[in-house]
């Protein structure tokens, strides 16, 4: 169901609450997907709307698989809350705070990266990214991403198992993470609790966002918080995003339209 069909029903209920929050993913949500992760840029309109929404919501936050410092610099709005590495770190008072449980796995991450790099170096287009608390192996720019994904699933699976880590797969990327119950869903839950939200909306487009989309539904059904999960569609949207979302948004430009509607609705509700 497209979000515009719910402006007088579920979204109206969300806006009517007193302590509302907006939590969003970055890549593929407020920033178009690009071939190289370093080239990703938040659209000026999304940045403008997020900044404006901060004055009307109890929380505007960003949760990303990127490192917290990376996402904070990329979005560039000082007043927002930034959670990086799928909830393993947060940007607080101008610096990164890594969860203590995650920090102790840093040597394992480094050792796994040392084992991964020789394999990646043999495949043109592979990009290995050290994100501190986690690591990513990007294969979007390889000649045959499907074949690379099949080959590297086994290679990276063996390496992560050897070093006591967990392997996750997203859109054209593998994630090496500590064996800690931390994902975008748990990060979303903690923000709802920390900021005492009685309503919240989450926006995301990828497999890793499905945890937060499902968490929104769980919070709503439990009566903890009136939360809604909005999946962002693209040409390669994973089916789990559509299955987990309450409503859908048609790409980054439609995210801008939704944020604009939300801003206007919040402004109207306060008059």
Residues assigned a catalytic role: 25
Name 247's Cβ contacts closer than 8 Å, sequence gap at least 6. 1, 2, 3, 5, 6, 10, 11, 228, 229, 230, 231
Determine the Cα–Cα distance for residues 139 and 120; give it in Å rounded to an integer.
Answer: 9
Determine the Cα–Cα distance for residues 184 and 201; give it in Å rounded to an integer.
Answer: 13
What is the C-alpha end-to-end distance of the chain, expressed in Å?
29
Determine the Cα–Cα distance for residues 40 and 15; give it in Å rounded to an integer.
Answer: 30
Q: Single out the residue of 259, 244, 248 nearest to residue 213, CA to CA.
A: 244
Contact 202, 227 (CB under 8 A): yes
What are the residues facing 229 on neighbouring strands? 202
Strands (E), the chain: 20-24, 59-63, 81-84, 89-92, 95-98, 127-130, 135-138, 166-170, 173-177, 199-204, 226-232, 247-249
């Amino acid at each position: 169901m497209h979000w515009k069909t719910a402006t007088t029903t579920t979204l109206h209920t969300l806006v009517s609450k007193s302590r509302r929050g907006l939590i969003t993913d970055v890549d593929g949500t407020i920033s178009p997907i690009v071939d190289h992760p370093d080239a990703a840029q938040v659209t000026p309109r999304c940045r403008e709307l997020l900044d404006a929404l901060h004055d009307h919501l109890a929380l505007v936050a960003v949760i990303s698989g990127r490192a917290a410092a990376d996402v904070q610099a990329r979005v560039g709005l000082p007043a927002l809350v930034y959670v990086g590495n799928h909830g393993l770190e947060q940007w607080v008072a101008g610096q990164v705070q890594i969860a203590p449980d995650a920090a102790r796995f840093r040597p394992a991450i480094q050792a796994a990266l040392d084992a991964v790099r020789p394999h990646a170096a043999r495949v043109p287009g592979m990009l290995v990214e050290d994100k501190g608390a986690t690591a990513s192996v990007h294969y979007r720019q390889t000649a045959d991403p499907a074949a690379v994904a099949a080959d590297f699933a086994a290679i990276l699976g063996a390496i992560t198992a050897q070093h006591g880590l967990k392997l996750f797969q997203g859109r054209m990327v593998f994630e090496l993470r500590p064996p800690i119950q931390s994902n975008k869903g748990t990060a979303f839950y903690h923000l709802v609790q920390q900021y005492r939200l009685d309503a919240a909306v989450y926006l995301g487009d990828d497999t890793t966002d499905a945890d937060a989309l499902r968490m929104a539904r769980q919070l709503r059904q439990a009566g903890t918080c009136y939360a809604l999960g909005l999946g962002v569609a693209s040409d390669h949207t994973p089916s789990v995003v559509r299955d987990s979302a309450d409503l859908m948004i048609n790409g980054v430009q439609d995210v801008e339209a939704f944020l604009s509607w939300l801003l206007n609705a919040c402004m109207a509700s306060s008059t």
